[in-house]
Amino acid sequence: KFRVKRTTSRKKFRAKLKYFAEWLYQNMHTEIGDLIKQINAKLAGHYRYYGVTDNSNGIHAFGYRIRRKILEVLNRRSQKNSLTWEGFAKLEERFPLVNARIYVNIYG
């Protein structure tokens, strides 16, 4: 059966990542708990807008790229690389990020 699959536009994907990175750099020195709350609100909004049928790859890729950018920004808060992926995983246990999921099933 044929059906049209919906995916995130590459142009919008890159623009949103760029905007998010600029916002992260402007808020880099915010307390981590408050920063994660704001990030979760932004991620939840993105996932709710783009979380439609057949777009799981797009929203999972966005979440991964944002996690990488958060790690990069948190490492710039001091003069040394103080955070590894293992340390970031521990930080994420304490301040969990919103998980990407499909919110709208178009065909069901």
Whether 2 shows a pLDDT value over 90: the answer reads no
Number of domains in the chain: 1
Q: Indicate whether 2 belongs to any domain.
A: no
- For residues 15 and 20, give the distance between their C-alpha atoms in angstroms, rounded to a whole number: 9
Q: Indicate whether 75 belongs to any domain.
A: yes
DSSP state of 92: H
pLDDT digits (tens, 9 = 90+) for 29-83: 999 999 999 999 999 999 999 999 899 999 999 999 999 999 999 999 887 778 8
Alpha helix locations (H) across the chain?
10-26, 32-50, 56-75, 85-94
- For residues 106 and 6, give the distance between their C-alpha atoms in angstroms, rounded to a whole number: 10
Q: Indicate whether 64 belongs to any domain.
A: yes
pLDDT value of residue 17:
97
Q: Indicate whether 101 belongs to any domain.
A: no
Residues 17, 23, 24: CA angle, nearest 5 degrees: 85
Q: Indicate whether 55 belongs to any domain.
A: yes
Q: Indicate whether 99 belongs to any domain.
A: no
Q: Indicate whether 23 belongs to any domain.
A: yes
Range of the domain at 15: 10-94
Q: Indicate whether 100 belongs to any domain.
A: no
